[in-house]
Amino acid sequence: MKHSLKRWVVATRPWSFPASVMPVLTTVFWLWSHNEPVCWLFGLLAVVNIVLVHAAGNVWSDISDYRQGVDAQDTFGVRLLVDGEFTVSEFRHLSIVLNVLAVLMGLCMAWVTGPLLLLIGVIGILLSLCYPFLKYHALGDVVIILCYALLPMLGTSLIVSGALHWSVLWLAVPVGLITVAILHVNNVRDIVTDKRAGIKTFPMLTGRNFGISLYAFEVLFPFAWLLGLAVCGIASWWLLVAYLSLPIALGNVRCIFSYKKLNNDMCARLDEKTAQLQLIFSLLMIIGMTLSVFL
């Protein structure tokens, strides 16, 4: 069966890409706004590379979820395998192609930057491949923090400036928490069906009520963190431009607190809305960092 380019793109879950792109972009602008030398071309390459890794990981995870029974006719999320539009073989080939492209690009950047970047990249890809197994054993949140906050931010600082800049990790807290919230709210929504599939996620261990409260913390604490950075003189007050996204975060929190145990429809698309929050929150931070340079 032939598929259009659009359907192949849909298979990679592009709505989730802010989770990988924003850590890279915020790192580049953080360094630039702090007068560090930045190679913008390498920054662009880093964005493309992490999107390839992310897309490959999404496809690989969907294969595992389909085989494990996590994705079924009565569950939410990507339904391309469940509905028979794509075959497992097609998804596998797509994941392999994306991973090969990511590895080749990573090797080129490591050749220019050095072996430390290669190490970071290898760890990232291995975690991506192991993600389904780790997610099924309540460790998915840990993988997300590593793959979509700590590793890409440190790796990006190395790529664009030629050196590790640990200061970028100040932004790993707000960016990482909102990214984890994307997975977390998905797992809160799917507690019943995940239990049926025989897997264990973090919300299953802590309970739905705690999971709901934790999601609220994950999307609201980043705003308090930014205020703390400004008060302590670590970051410019312009970073608080990100507060313009606070109404979106509050809307998401109201949504999840309205969640009913027997009505998953309330949170059916809250993972996508959280990814949108990540996109807007991070873009506003970038605008704030840019303003701090010129004003």
Check if the beta carbon of residue 215 is closer than 8 Å to that of residue 184. Answer: yes
Q: How does residue 168 score in pLDDT terms, banded at 50, 70 and 90?
A: very high
pLDDT band, very low/low/confident/very high, at 278 (cuts 50, 70, 90): very high
Instruction: Identify the pLDDT of residue 289.
Output: 97
Q: In this predicted model, which residue has the larger pLDDT, 78 or 21?
A: 21
Per the CB < 8 A criterion, the answer to whether 289 and 236 are in contact is yes
Helices and strands (H, E) in the chain, number of each type: 13, 0
CATH number (1.10.10, 3.40.50, 1.10.600, 3.30.450) of 12-294 reads 1.10.600
Which sequence spans correspond to the domains of the chain?
12-294
SS3 of 236-272: CHHHHHHHHHHHHHHHHHHHHHCCECCEHHHHCCHHH
Report the alpha-carbon distance of residue 74 to residue 76 in Å, rounded. Answer: 7
Contacts 24+ apart (CB under 8 A), 242-248: 242/174, 242/281, 242/282, 242/284, 242/285, 242/288, 243/284, 244/284, 245/277, 245/280, 245/281, 245/284, 248/273, 248/276, 248/277, 248/280, 248/281
Q: Where does the pLDDT of residue 262 fall: very low under 50, low under 70, confident under 90, or very high at 90 and above?
A: very low
pLDDT on residue 72: 72
pLDDT of residue 248: 96
69-121 pLDDT tens trace: 887 776 776 778 888 889 999 999 999 999 999 999 989 999 988 889 989 98
**Average pLDDT estimate for 40-59:** 94
Confidence of residue 260 (pLDDT cuts 50, 70, 90): low
Percent of the chain with pLDDT over 70: 96
pLDDT value of residue 197: 85
The residue to which tokens 């998401």 are assigned:
252
Lowest-confidence range among 65-79, 192-206, 210-224, 245-259? 65-79
The per-residue pLDDT for 237 is: 96
> Residue 51's pLDDT is what?
95
Are the C-beta atoms of residues 200 and 178 closer than 8 Å to each other? no
Structure tokens at 68: 């494990």
